[in-house]
Amino acid sequence: MIRQAQARRDASRSGLLITTQGVSQNVGNAYAILRVARASLEASNLQVRAARTAFRGVREEATLGARTTLDVLNAEQELLDAQANTISAQADEVVASYRVLATMGLLTADHLNLGVQSYDPAAYYNLVSEAPATYSEQGQALDRVLQSIGE
């Protein structure tokens, strides 16, 4: 009997350790993804700067007759692609930051200060505990079940 209790205790402890390590690993992975997203955003911003500089240069060369309209359009398309990549990187960063909050258990209305009423099960129970249940079929069925099991 004592050995069984010790074995159960040790199994519970090992389960807790595995869960703790799993949560820690998930938070670490989410944070690594966030750092990758931030680095990608920084690289995209640099790409936009370079594409904008190249576009201005090609456009200036075109006014001097050294480039064609097609060259200008290609440079402009590269700038637009870089800007689209930046928007995508910004979205990835936001999603990754929410993933970090979610894995930490902090993606809640209270933590995000959303200003919405949060659901409190205990308060709701206290509010409706004295309400008459005889008006609904579900309430009557529940009363019959509770009476049959002696509650």
Among residues 93, 111, 116, 119, the alpha carbon closest in space to that of 40 is found at 93
- pLDDT score for 151: 61
DSSP state of 117: P
- pLDDT score for 62: 96
- pLDDT score for 9: 94
Helix extents (H) in 104-136:
121-128
The tens digit of pLDDT for each residue in 84-110 reads: 999 999 999 999 999 999 999 999 988
Domain parsing of the chain, residue ranges: 2-115, 119-151
Average pLDDT of the residues in 114-142: 78
On whether the CB atoms of residues 26 and 103 are closer than 8 A, the answer is yes
The rounded distance, in Å, linking the Cα atoms of 43 and 99 is 21
Element (H, E) at 17: helix 2-63
The tens digit of pLDDT for each residue in 39-95 reads: 999 999 999 999 999 999 999 999 999 999 999 999 999 999 999 999 999 999 999
Is the pTM for the entire model greater than 0.75?
no
Average pLDDT of the residues in 127-139: 72
Q: Is 27 exposed, middle or buried (0-12, 13-18, 19+ CB in 10 A)?
A: middle
Among residues 46, 57, 36, 56, the alpha carbon closest in space to that of 82 is found at 46
- pLDDT score for 144: 84
Q: Is the pLDDT of residue 128 over 80?
A: no
Instruction: Identify the residue whose tokens are 């992975």.
Output: 29
